[in-house]
Amino acid sequence: MAKIGVFICHCGENIAAKVDCTKLAAAMGEHPGVAVSVEYKYFCSDPGQESVKKAIREHNLTGIVIAACSPRMHEATFRKACAEAGLNPYLCEIANIREQCSWVHTDSEMATEKAMDITRSMVEKVKRNNNLQPIEVPVTRRALVIGGGIAGLQAALDIANAGQEVVLVEREPSLGGHMAQLSETFPTLDCSQCIMTPRMVETAQHPKIRLLTYAEVESVDGYIGNFKVRIRMKSRYVDMSRCTGCGDCITKCPAKKISSEFDCGLGKRTAIYTPFAQSVPNMPVIDKASCIYFKNGKCKMCEKSCQLNAINFEMQDEFIDLEIGAIVVATGFQIQNTAVYGEYGYGKFPDVITGLQFERLASASGPTAGRILRPSDGKEPENVVFIQCAGSRDPSKGVRYCSKICCMYTAKHAMLYAHKVHGGKTHIFYMDIRAAGKGYDEFTRRAIEEDEASYVRGRVSKVWQENGKLMVRGVDTLLGKPVTVVADMVVLATAMVPQHNAKEFAKTIGIAYDEYGFYNEAHLKLRPVESSTAGVFLAGACQSPKDIPDSVAQASATASKVLALFSKEKLEREPVIAINNEATCAGCWGCVLACPYNAIEKKDIRDRSGRLIKQVAYVNPGLCQGCGTCVSFCRSNSLDLAGFTEKQIFAEVMGL
Amino acid sequence: MTRILFSDKLDNCVAKWRSAGLAVIGPVQEEAISRYAAVEKGTDFDFGTVLPDRSLKELFFPQTEPMLRYTIKKNEIDTADFTPPQGKRIIFGARACDASGLEIDDPLFGWDYKDEFWFQRRNESVIVTIACTKADDFCMCTSLKLEPDSTKGADVLLRPIDKNKGWLVEELTDRGREAFALISEYLQESSEPALPTVVVPEKFNLDACVTWLKNPENFESKFWKEISMRCIGCASCTYLCPTCHCFDIQDEGDTYSGIRRKNWDSCSFALFTMHTSGHNPRSTQSARWRQRIMHKFNYFPGKFTVNSCSGCGRCSRQCPVDMGITETLQAISNL
Amino acid sequence: MITQERYRTTVKELLANGSIKMAIGYKPGSTPDRRRPLFIRTSEEAEQLVLDSTCVQNLSGYLVSEGLLSDEKRVGIFLRPEGVRSINILAAEYQLNADQIVIFGFDSTGREVRPLDGRSAREFSGLLNELKEKPLQIYKEPLLERIEKMNAKERFDFWQEEFSRCIKCYACRQACPMCYCRRCIVDSNQPQWVNTSSHTLGNFEWNIVRAFHLSGRCVQCGNCDRACPVNIPLRLINQRMANEVLDGFDHFAGLSATQEPVLASFKKDDTETFIL
Amino acid sequence: MSELFEPKIVAFVCTYCTYAGADLAGTSRLKYAPNVRIVRLPCTGRISPMFILKALQKGADGVLVSGCHPGDCHFTHGNYHARRRWMVFRALLDFTGISPERVKFSWISAAEGSKFADLINSVTEDIRNLGPFDQYQQLIKETESPATL
């Protein structure tokens, strides 16, 4: 005979203001099988939980229903309380009368009626709950880090330095990501490559890190602790086991006029190339689309120049299958396509450039060896206008969010320019200066006060060319009038957006993303580095725009999550898994096809003499993730899902 | 001299009976099937079919019948009984086999526990049968030692006269006389002869069959497997049978209130005898078919001294795989 | 007659040389227009074989009766094209091994019966592909068109009337080669998803569940429809669902023994216009 | 004046998307009609057509089924399977006279709190306009009446 306890939480006024909790408690008290039905101000509080535990012991309850906030909030809390009171934690159900009732309805009477239905339905469900035990699954102690930018490197190094294996996958020929492109970094103005390249080298040489560059994640199967990942090794046409990175081939390559991606189109590269001088690994790849041999069938200059026979035009993509326990996604960002701002003339006027291009100009290793020169004529600009929020915080054309880093790097650009071009003038159009961060506001103040950056609060409406000069028309909202600034160069602080293939990639890994394609954290405040999928963690700008310190901090946080996961040999999982009734199973194997996890196997049923009687489905509890797709497929109703059994759901519906 | 009920007076009779508070029921041809159903006027009847598709049984023992309503309360369970429908009725134009079926089942429904649903209806129904003047290939009442004009289970027997003009009336019981007294004004004395009842050829030797069935050696005969190999295990034979009477009791509703019902069940179903353990004493279709035959011609008469078959032939007529009692008993006769 | 005689000879030969242990066919029934299933194990039994246009029952359900195929010996069976499709589905759903089935295919137009080429289900793939392309005869059924034209209320009334006659004898299920479950969902009572009582509500539920379970699996052999003792036009629902999966997913049930069950598979670009 | 008909609607939703979306509607304090009762399931793949039939038997005038957008399923493709089933089941219900207007399907993500609130309002309004599902409720009532004749 069921003895159910019903605990109705006021949640302060959150529930009690709309739902008549006293009436609800009284009604539930009269419901068959309910042994105790009480209300209280905050059941999630310590005394609240204690009262639940006391009631479980005193009334010898066989199940409890907490009518309170969403199970997503406190299911775990009350399950734990159950366990402490000696009741199987899975004999606890939550009736969500806050998020889905008191908060969303205005009519008190109807809200109370709905709360009754919700609670009664949960009482009927919990009567049919079973004792469940968590499932233990083994953990593969090997992490996959996707992305070789600063976030990925940090995560990989932190995990590897703690003694765990890491596979680092980078889709470009070299590690480095965006940070390798930067000149100096705010707020310290230390050289980006000076701090980046040692980390790259350390990563490449680390005994616990397996580095896979020019590689992409092809598919991810499995689940936390037990992912099966397939990596596509794109063909470099250079045998990495032979190549020493001498660079002879690069020198000999006749296709020299290819726009360099690394230099954002400001520099040139060859068809066989390393993205930049400090590339790690320092081994070239052949860009098939630009290679003369691949286009015309003649050339092979690189092959001829290579004394080590490292060039192999026959090379094919290869696949590597990995067993992985945890995944860190650090796939970074890209900058928004500036074409959406036609009025700024990007692409039309060569001296309108992006902030990232400015970084390349300012970089000592860049195409101008660190001198700020106009792309059009190679002259030093005397006047530079910076336009902030060129895409960010602009719901009409760009993106609604703030890209977070532009205020700071624009201030940095103004400073670098001032340091490099003495007497040069800078104007910065801005909406707000957002400089929250250690040393950040001081930094922008320095730009204004020491390096004489002239900040104009307002937006730019148009950029045009007149007599070889760029005319920038904007508004100074503080003065309340339009201004036109004559400039030699205009730098756009373009928005940071997700990688072009971010959404598809999220689907490959099976994680959630927001409307833009940034990856969703499991909880913005409490689980900011976990994705919605267990065992997959998020680091860096793939989650939202971030600067280097934040990316690094988040990367280290993911490392600690991975290490926590790897600290155990086995993992405890929710016992919500499918089970099969072998007596009634007809062996049609529809479930095998329907299962997203290949968790269903064929099992032989034999009689005592060993004769095969039939084959039935067997659900591997380690692989089953508990979606229940097989259960609703099963025509003979042989499959069922623990925690959401047919009986439970039937009762739940019938209780409504 | 006997009294005659002329067809053209039927309308008046129906009106009379109805005004006297009797529900009038008779063979009706619906779009999809023929059955015994309520009629409001004389033209609603259809006496042309050999036999309605569905038997008379369902008017006394419906396919599903609510027995009680229950509500599980905190400390007790409230129940409220359903009472069988009250009200007298006259079933006009039943076939002799269907009426016999009712009488065959009477002892079954009354031997230990008196089934009030059955007997309430039995006591309130006047059964008027019409002797058959035609039969089809499946009719076999004579093989069961019954006749197309058997009076078993009937309160009044009517014998058709030529050209569908009407029927000679033979009142058999007080209940029948009472009902016909109501319409006596429409009955005419006449000497017109009744049409001859149809001759239904005997299809098997019942006594020989029964002897064979009673021989314990034949229980395990391979005959059963051979004869029932094509049986697909549906219940159309049992559900259309005028004497099959098995039922199941089911509680139906939500988790704390509902209705307890009496539903037809069938020995053809594998689940009929399935134990909770998974063991099924009648695990094969041949065992189930054997049970059906044994029950009708061995066990039932052993207890109630009458065969549980009135020879209507519906089992064979409707069988999706052309099986039936006739074929089986014929085969036994020929063994 | 020629077809019948030829097949009689073939069956006898195959039985004699041990290629098959049994052939499932037809023999005369209790009335001249009736045929009943015949299980041929001997040459004498083969003499009873009848093959004409009144042989309509899809016999393939007998193949999955317990134990028949467990000795891995081959069994012959007389099938119309729909029957061959059911063999494919049964094979695709692992209820039998198609290689174990020797098919004696036939079809009829009017009263004429003609043999179909091929002995194994695989060999019928050309024919079945043609069938897929041909508009199905039953689709032209006026009743189906009438129902399609009704509004929801009229349709409900129509089916309510039809289903009210249902007596839950499960002849439709038992007659169907696809209903091979050891325990039907209606017989599962923990919980009792389908009301077993044959009131109209219970009948509605049963018939909907039956049709759903046959969606993408029904080959329109008509066994259920013919078996129904109360003449519910079950074929119409099955036909409607067959059209649905053909239009929606280009799925023609029983095209091959390796066909994926339509409701256990999906395409990422399946239509979803109905989803809000 | 007749009283406004308050339809009874049962919703079957997956916990990862639509249930979370409903929670978001709550935390955003959006207001919507109180006619819907939610049954939480791990995934739309778990939603069997039987649930819909039982909701109708329990007297629902309408049913809503909702889960993750294609590609967003926490279980990678439970919702794709569900989508096929729904399409077939919906056609079946339609053919047997259970209007598709009464059984609605939607994708609502964890981020779409306002879509959830709007949908509940519009579904409630739609079902209200259709009126009570008298035909089905008549069948339910029949089961409670004694056998006729």
Evaluate whether C23 touches C15 at the Cβ level (below 8 Å): yes
Mean pLDDT of all residues in A354-372:
93
**Structural domain ending residue among the three candidates A82, A98, A127:** A127
Give the chain C residue nearest B249 (alpha carbons).
C197
Query: Does B185 lie at the interface with C, CB-CB under 8 angstroms?
Result: no
A583 lies in the same domain as A623: yes
Judgement on whether residues A391 and A485 belong to the same structural domain of the protein: yes
Residue for token pair 């074409």: A339
- The angle, 0 to 180 degrees and rounded to 10, between the axes of the packed helices A406-420 and A355-362 is 40
For residues A533 and B116, which has the higher predicted lDDT (pLDDT)?
Answer: B116
Alpha carbon distances (Å) from B151 to A375, B88, B97, B157 = 116, 21, 9, 7
Residues A593, C260: C-beta atoms closer than 8 Å: yes
Q: Is B189 exposed, middle or buried (0-12, 13-18, 19+ CB in 10 A)?
A: exposed
Residues A649 and A601 in one domain: yes
Q: Do A576 and D42 touch (CB under 8 A)?
A: yes
Please write the tens of the pLDDT for every residue from B288-303.
999 999 999 999 999 9
Q: Which two tokens stand for residue A270?
A: 């060859």
Q: What is the mean pLDDT of chain A?
A: 93
pLDDT-derived band at C256, boundaries 50, 70, 90? very high
Contacts of A655 in chain B (CB under 8 A): 254-255
Position D26 pLDDT exceeds 50: yes
Q: What is the pLDDT of residue A49?
A: 95
Residue-wise pLDDT tens digits, A628-655: 999 999 999 999 999 999 999 999 999 9
Q: Over the stretch A420-462, which tens digit does the pLDDT of each residue have?
A: 998 899 999 999 999 999 999 999 999 999 999 999 999 999 9
Where does a domain end: A515, A543, A566? A566
Please give the average per-residue pLDDT across B263-290, as a whole number. Answer: 94
Chains contacting C (3+ CB pairs below 8 angstroms)? A, B, D
pLDDT band at residue B160 under the 50/70/90 scheme: very high
Confidence of residue D149 (pLDDT cuts 50, 70, 90): low
Check CB contact of B254 with chain A, cutoff 8 Å.
Answer: yes
pLDDT over threshold 50, residue A117: yes
Residue written as token pair 């000795």: C71
Q: Does B279 touch chain A (CB under 8 A)?
A: no
Contacts of B54 in chain C (CB under 8 A): 230
Share of chain C above pLDDT 90, in %: 81
Query: Chain D window 111-130: which residues touch A at a Cβ cutoff of 8 Å?
Result: 111, 117
How far is Cα C34 from Cα B43, in angstroms, rounded to an integer?
33
Tell me, yes or no, if B73 comes closer than 8 A to chain A by beta carbon: yes
pLDDT in tens, A401-413: 999 999 999 999 9
What DSSP string runs through A59-99? HT-SEEEEEES-HHHHHHHHHHHHHHTTS-GGGEEEEE-II
Task: Report the pLDDT value the prediction gives residue D138, as an integer from 0 to 100.
Answer: 92
Beta-carbon separation of B65 and D147 below 8 A = yes
Amino acid A384: pLDDT: 96
Residue C91: closest C-alpha in chain A:
A588
% of chain A exceeding 90 in pLDDT: 86
Q: Is residue A287 part of a domain?
A: yes
Question: How far apart are the C-alpha atoms of D113 and D25, rounded to whole Å?
Answer: 4
Kindly report, residue by residue over C199-226, the tens digit of the pLDDT.
999 999 999 999 999 999 999 999 999 9
pLDDT beyond 60 at A2:
yes
User: Within this chain, do residues A376 and A442 fall inside the same structural domain, yes or no?
Assistant: yes
State the best of B75, B256, B277, B280 to mutate against chain A, taking most chain A CBs within 10 Å: B256
Four-residue CA torsion sign, A391, A395, A399, A401: positive
Strands (E), C29-170: 35-40, 75-79, 101-109, 112-115
A-B interface: how many C-beta pairs under 8 angstroms? 20
In the 3-class helix/strand/coil scheme, how is A499-528 assigned residue by residue?
CCCHHHHHHHHCCCECCCCCECEEECCCEE
Q: What is the mean pLDDT of chain B?
A: 94
- Asked whether residue A98 falls in the same domain as residue A151, the answer is no
* Residues A271 and A221 placed together within one structural domain of the fold: no
| Chain C, nearest residue to A648 by Cα | C191
Residues of B in contact with D147 (CB under 8 A): 62, 64-66, 85
What are the respective helix, strand and coil percentages of chain D, to the nearest 5? 50, 15, 35
Residues of D whose CB is below 8 A from C212: 49, 88-89, 92
Q: Which range marks the domain in which residue A447 is found?
A: 334-497
Q: Which of A588, A613, A652 to mutate to test the interface with C (most CBs of C within 10 A)?
A: A588
CB contact under 8 A, B83 and D146: yes
The answer to whether residues A513 and A497 touch, using CB atoms and an 8 Å cutoff, is: no
Local confidence band at A474 (pLDDT 50, 70, 90 cut-offs): very high
Neighbours of chain D (3+ CB pairs under 8 A): A, B, C
The predicted pLDDT at position C136 comes to: 58
Query: What is d(CA D15, CA A73) in angstroms, rounded to the nearest whole number?
Result: 13
Domain ranges of chain C: 2-133, 137-263
**Does A644 contact D at CB distance below 8 Å?**
yes
Ramachandran quadrant class, C223 (left: phi over 0; alpha: psi -120 to 50; beta: rest): alpha
Q: Which residues of D touch B252 (CB under 8 A)?
A: 143
User: Residue range A387-391: average pLDDT?
Assistant: 94
pLDDT (mean) for A202-207: 95
- Residues 177 to 236 of C: which have CB under 8 A from any D CB? 185, 193-195, 197, 199-202, 204-205, 207-209, 211-212, 215-216
Judged by DSSP in three states, A491 sits in strand
Task: Using the predicted structure, report yes or no on whether residue C138 has a pLDDT greater than 70.
Answer: no
Determine, for residues B138 and C30 on separate chains, whether the beta-carbon distance falls below 8 Å: yes
Percent of chain B with pLDDT over 90: 93
Tokens encoding C204: 């509605």
- Domain residue ranges of chain B, discontinuous segments joined by +: 2-190, 206-333
Which chain D residues touch A110 with a CB distance below 8 Å? 6, 34
Instruction: Please determine, for residue A616, whether its predicted confidence score (pLDDT) is greater than 90.
Output: yes
Q: For the segment C58-68, what is each residue's pLDDT rounded down to a tens digit?
A: 999 999 987 89
Do A190 and A328 reside in the same domain of the chain?
Answer: yes
B9 φψ region: left (φ > 0), alpha (ψ -120 to 50), beta (else) = alpha
Look up the CATH number of the domain holding residue A627: 3.30.70.20
* A124 interface with B at CB cutoff 8 Å: yes
A344 and A447 share one domain: yes
Q: Find chain C residues with C-beta within 8 A of D97's C-beta.
A: 150, 152-160
Of A497, A514, A546, which residue is a domain's last? A497
Please give the pLDDT value at position A83. 95
Phi, psi (5° rounding) for residue A481? -145, 160
Chain D residues with beta carbon closer than 8 angstroms to that of C249: 84
Q: For residue range D32-66, what is the model confidence (pLDDT) as tens digits? A: 999 999 999 999 999 999 999 999 999 999 999 99
d(CA C167, CA B236): 8
Q: What is the DSSP string of D49-68?
A: HHHHHHHHHTT-SEEEEEEP
Chain B positions in Cβ-Cβ contact with residue A32 (cut-off 8 Å): 72-74, 256
Per-residue pLDDT band at A599 (split at 50, 70, 90): confident
- Give the pLDDT score at A58: 96
The rounded distance, in Å, linking the Cα atoms of D23 and A601 is 37
Query: Same structural domain for residues A103 and A39?
Result: yes
Q: Is B300 exposed, middle or buried (0-12, 13-18, 19+ CB in 10 A)?
A: buried
**Contact at CB, D57 and C193, closer than 8 angstroms:** no
Q: Which two tokens stand for residue A314?
A: 């026959």
Candidates C208, C218, C236, partner chain D, best to mutate (most D CBs within 10 A):
C208
* D1 — pLDDT class (breaks 50, 70, 90): very low
Q: Between chains, do B74 and A30 touch, taking CB under 8 Å as contact?
A: yes
For chain D, what percent of residues have pLDDT higher than 90? 83
What count of CB pairs under 8 Å joins B to D? Answer: 28
Asked if C261 and C217 count as a contact pair (C-beta separation under 8 A), the reply is yes
| CB-based contact, C95 to chain A, within 8 Å | yes
Please give the radius of gyration of chain C, using alpha carbons only, rounded to the nearest integer: 20
Nearest CA to CA, how far is C244 from chain D (Å)? 7
Residue B286 at interface with chain C, using a CB cutoff of 8 Å = no
What is the C-alpha R_g of chain B? 22
pLDDT at C139: 52
Total domain count for chain A?
A: 5
Q: How many C-beta atoms surround the C-beta of residue B53 within 10 A?
A: 20
Across the interface, whether the CB atoms of B252 and C196 are under 8 A apart is answered yes
Q: A632, A636, A637, A641: which to substitute to probe chain D, counting the most D Cβ within 10 Å?
A: A632
pLDDT of D84 reads: 93
Q: Is the pLDDT of residue C137 over 70?
A: no
Across the interface, whether the CB atoms of B263 and C31 are under 8 A apart is answered: no
Mean pLDDT of B79-103: 94
Quick check: is A39 in a domain?
A: yes
- Where are the alpha helices (H) located in D5-133, listed in sequence order? 18-27, 49-57, 78-95, 113-130
Question: Mean of the pLDDT values across residues B28-48?
Answer: 94
Would you say B60 and B53 are in contact if contact means Cβ atoms under 8 Å apart?
no
Which is more confident, A613 or C138? Answer: A613
In this complex, which of B33, B233, B235 lies closest to C230 when CB atoms are compared?
B33
Q: What is the mean pLDDT of residues A596-620?
A: 89
Residue A607 lies in a domain: yes
Is there a contact between A68 and A57 (Cβ–Cβ < 8 Å)? no
Average pLDDT of span A235-261: 93
Whether complex ipTM tops 0.90: yes
- Interval B135-143 mean pLDDT: 96
For residue C31, which residues of chain B lie inside 8 Å, CB to CB?
Answer: 137
Closest by Cβ to D77, choosing from A103, A515, A596? A596
How far does D107 lie from chain B, in Å, by closest CA?
30
Domain D9-143: CATH architecture, name and number where available: 3-Layer(aba) Sandwich (3.40)
Residues contacting residue B219 through CB under 8 Å, at least 6 positions apart: B290, B294
